[in-house]
Structure 1
Amino acid sequence: MEKSKLVKALLIASGIIGIFIGGSLLFVPVAFQASAGIDLEGNINLLSEVRAPGGTLLIAGILILSGAFMARLTYGSVLLTCLFYLSYGVSRVFSVIIDGMPSSSLIGATIIELVIGGASLYVLVYYRKKHKSV
């Protein structure tokens, strides 16, 4: 995949966000979730359930960021960005429909996830069309 400045910026931004959120969920979940009004204090089972996807998101963020600097990882990184961010965003929309409106910080996260996921989907479709016509 050709790496334009836009693709590189998308991978850098989404990778850094993934690393920050994943690292926060893995290493400081109580404080991080408290910023969204979620109380995890003393709930060992819930802490385990929060840390596990935090580690996954941290590793995904590292792989996504790597794609900004290593050409052989670019396509996979854009695909991973699309899958991770759209699945989080769409799942949060589903939760709003089923469970109701969460805090404003979680609504903001939903919007960011959908925008990043949508942008990465656009990149995948654009480059596929561009290379099919050649």
Structure 2
Amino acid sequence: MTARPAGTGQETAQAGTGQEATQAGAGQETAQADAHSDGHQGSVRVAEPDGGEQYAAQAPGKAGVGRIVLAVSGLVIVLIGGASMFAPVWFREVNGIRMGPDVALLSETRAAGALLLAAGVTVLIGAFVPRLARTSAVVGAVGYLVTALARLVSLAADGSPGSGLLFAAVVELALGLACAALLRAPRPAAVT
């Protein structure tokens, strides 16, 4: 979407949404954030009253790093959730957990897998839909950090689960902290 010159002061594109709203007054600037197909990802396009445009950078490099963090974090959760839902016996045996033919345990494992799969898709979407990136980062941070905390509680209460699951705890902690770090980035201000 191309921002319209606002010499009339009647239309403004809201930052990040691409929606138009009516504004009173002459000389209003218009802005559109993060939804560009013209190579200015992570910047705000500002239409000047004279019809020209300029780009104001937002947190250089952060947009690309954030997308990578969300993509990797989401993909990991999608893979774990998918494996837990569609191949629970195999996935647990890879980590040295024997499930057997317990239908109730399989049901619980598949249900948890479906929840992880949905959370993973939510995190992954944020890598491609900038207006959902913050929500995705919250889901990723909370999900990974709570899981890492639960593994630490289990380590203290139950003992070591084995090297594979200890490695999983380290990865979960790292991805949780990376998602949490995305939340510290300042929100882009709407340009009006």
TM-score by length of 2: 0.64
Match of 1:53 in 2: 112
**Pairwise CA distance, 1:125:** 2.3
Aligned residues: 130
Deviation at residue 121 of structure 1 after TM alignment = 1.3
Higher helix share: 1
Where does residue 101 of structure 2 map in the other structure? 42
Shift, 1:21, TM fit: 0.2
Tell me which residue corresponds to 2:138.
79
- Structure 2 unaligned segments of length 5 or more: list them: 1-15, 17-41, 43-61
Amino acid aligned to 1:36: N
Counterpart residue type for residue 78 of structure 1? A
Give the Cα separation in 2 of the matches to 1:127 and 1:5.
Answer: 15
Q: Which has the larger radius of gyration?
A: 2
Work out the percentage of aligned pairs sharing the same amino acid. Answer: 36
Find the counterpart in structure 2 of residue 120 from structure 1. Answer: 179
Alignment gaps of 5+ in structure 1? none
Equivalent position amino acid for 2:131 in 1: R
* Aligned counterparts of 1:121 and 1:66: Cα–Cα separation in 2: 17
Once the two structures are TM-superposed, the CA of residue 83 in structure 1 deviates from its matched residue by: 0.6
Q: Which residue of 1 aligns with 2:32?
A: none
Q: How does 1:80-99 map to 2 (within 5 A)?
A: 80-99=139-158
SS in 2 for 1:69: coil
Corresponding residue of 2:84: 25
Provide the C-alpha distance between the structure 2 equivalents of 1:86 and 1:127, rounded to a whole number of angstroms. 21
Structure 1 stretches of 4+ moved >3 Å: none
Cα offsets for 1:24-48 (capped at 9, x unmatched): 0000000010001101120111111
The separation in 2 between residues aligned to 1:75 and 1:124, in whole angstroms, is 7
What's the Cα RMSD here? 1.7
SS of equivalent to 2:96 = coil
Superposition pairs for residues 97-108 of structure 1, below 5 Å? Answer: 97-108=156-167
Output the CA distance in 2 between the equivalents of 1:111 and 1:127: 27
**Aligned-pair CA distance for 1:49:** 1.5
1: CA distance, partners of 2:112 / 2:82 = 10
Higher relative contact order (CA 8 A, sep 6+): 1
